[in-house]
Amino acid sequence: MTELTAIVLAAGQGTRMKSSRAKVLHELCGCPMIDFPVRAALAAGAREVVVVVGRDRDEVTAHLVRTFGASVRTAIQAEQRGTGDAVRAALPSVPDDATAALVLCGDTPLVPAAALAELAAERARGDRRLALLTFEVADPTGYGRILRGASGEVRAVREHRDASAAERAIRECNAGMYCARLDFLRAAVGALGTDNAQRELYLTDIVAAADGDAASLCADATSLTGVNDRVQLAAVEAELHRRIADGWRRAGVTVRESARIDASVALEPDATIEHGVVLRGSTRVGRGARIDVGAVLVDTDVAEGALVKPYSVCTRARIGPRAEIGPFAHLRPDSDIGPEAHIGNFVETKKTRLGRGAKANHLAYLGDGEVGEGANVGAGTIFCNYDGFSKHPTIIGARAFIGSDSQLVAPVTVGEGAYVATGTTVTKDVPPDALAIARAPQENKLGYGPRLRARLSARAKAAKEAGARAPAPVVPATGATEPGKRD
Q: Are the C-beta atoms of 174 and 204 separated by less than 8 Å?
A: yes
Q: Site for ligand UD1 (CB under 6 A): which residue of 33, 38, 100, 173?
A: 173
- Residue 420 contacts residue 404 (beta carbons within 8 Å): no
Q: Which of 74, 80, 300, 406 binds ligand UD1 (CB under 6 A)?
A: 80
Distance in Å, CB of 163 to Ca ion, minimum: 16
Instruction: Count the residues of the shown chain that bind Ca ion, applying the rule CB under 5 A.
Output: 3
Run of H or E including 245: helix 230-250
CB of 169 to ligand UD1, least distance (A): 16
Q: Is the dihedral of CA 111, 116, 117, 121 positive or negative?
A: positive
Beta bridge partners of 336: 318, 353
Using alpha carbons, list the distances in angstroms from residue 5 to 12, 38, 100, 181, 437: 21, 11, 6, 10, 73
- When binding is defined by CB under 6 A, the residue of 107, 268, 340, 373 that contacts ligand UD1 is 107
Q: Which of 6, 9, 64, 131 binds ligand UD1 (CB under 6 A)?
A: 9
Q: Which does 85 bind (CB under 5 to 8 A by kind): Ca ion, ligand UD1, none?
A: ligand UD1
174 binds ligand UD1 (CB under 6 A): yes
Q: How far apart are CA 330 and CA 343, in angstroms?
A: 9
Query: Which among Ca ion, ligand UD1, none contacts residue 80 (Cβ within 5 to 8 A by kind)?
Result: ligand UD1
Question: Which residues on neighbouring strands pair with residue 102, listed in sequence order?
Answer: 6, 179
- Does 203 participate in binding ligand UD1 (rule CB under 6 A)? yes
Q: Are 2 and 100 in contact (CB under 8 A)?
A: yes
- Residue 152 CA to residue 150 CA, distance in Å, equals 6
Residue from 45, 112, 226, 333 binding Ca ion (CB under 5 A):
226
Residue 159 binds Ca ion (CB under 5 A)? no
- Segment near ligand UD1 (CB under 6 A); pick from 64-72, 167-175, 178-186, 472-480: 167-175
Q: Which is nearer to Ca ion, 198 or 457 (CB)?
A: 198
3-class SS at 129?
A: coil
Is 275 an annotated catalytic residue?
A: no
Buried b (16+ CB within 10 A) or exposed e, 378-391: bbbbbbbbeeeeee
Which is nearer to ligand UD1, 67 or 99 (by Cβ)?
A: 67
Q: What are phi and psi of 230, to 5 degrees?
A: -80, -15
- From the list 26, 160, 275, 362, the catalytic residue is 362
Tell me: does residue 37 bind ligand UD1 (CB under 6 A). no
Q: Which of 56, 107, 340, 348 binds Ca ion (CB under 5 A)?
A: 107
CB 24 within 8 A of CB 105: no
Cross-strand partners of 279? 261, 297
Handedness of CA 188, 192, 197, 200 (dihedral sign): positive
- Shortest spacing between CB 202 and ligand UD1, in angstroms: 4
Q: Which does 82 bind (CB under 5 to 8 A by kind): ligand UD1, Ca ion, none?
A: ligand UD1
> Mask of contacts with ligand UD1, 211-230, x by CB under 6 A?
---------------x-x--
Question: In the complex, which residue's CB is closest to Ca ion?
Answer: 226
Binding residue for ligand UD1, selected from 30, 32, 82, 344, defined by CB under 6 A? 82
- 11 makes contact with ligand UD1 (CB under 6 A): yes
370 binds, among ligand UD1, Ca ion, none (CB under 5 to 8 A by kind): none
What spatial distance separates the first Cα and last Cα of the chain, rounded to whole Å? Answer: 108
User: Considering beta carbons, is residue 200 or 405 the nearer one to ligand UD1?
Assistant: 200
Partner touching 369 among Ca ion, ligand UD1, none, CB below 5 to 8 Å by kind? none
Site residues for ligand UD1, window 228-287 (CB under 6 A)?
Answer: 228
Which of 30, 32, 106, 378 is the binder for ligand UD1 (CB under 6 A)? Answer: 106
Q: According to the binding rule CB under 6 A, does residue 86 interact with ligand UD1?
A: yes
Distance CA 119, CA 218 (A): 10
Q: Is 274 in the site for Ca ion (CB under 5 A)?
A: no
CB of 26 to Ca ion, least distance (A): 13
**Partners of residue 76 on adjacent β-strands:** 53
379 within 8 A of 361, measured Cβ to Cβ: yes
- Is residue 331 within 8 A of residue 343, CB to CB? The reply is yes
Q: How many binding residues for ligand UD1 (CB under 6 A)?
A: 30
DSSP 486: -
Sequence-ordered list of residues with C-beta below 8 angstroms from that of 200, at least 6 positions apart, any chain: 81, 82, 83, 84, 85, 194
85 binds ligand UD1 per the rule CB under 6 A: yes
User: What sign does the dihedral 252-256-261-263 (CA atoms) show?
Assistant: positive
Q: Which is nearer to ligand UD1, 201 or 285 (CB)?
A: 201
- Residue 380 binding Ca ion, by CB under 5 A: no
Question: What are the Cα distances from residue 357, in Å, to 11, 192, 377, 402?
Answer: 54, 71, 12, 15
Task: Provide the binding-site residues for ligand UD1, judged by CB under 6 A.
Answer: 9-12, 52, 54, 77, 80-83, 85-86, 105-108, 143-144, 157, 159, 173-176, 202-204, 226, 228
Task: Provide the binding-site residues for Ca ion, judged by CB under 5 A.
Answer: 107, 226, 228
Indicate which residues carry an active-site annotation: 362
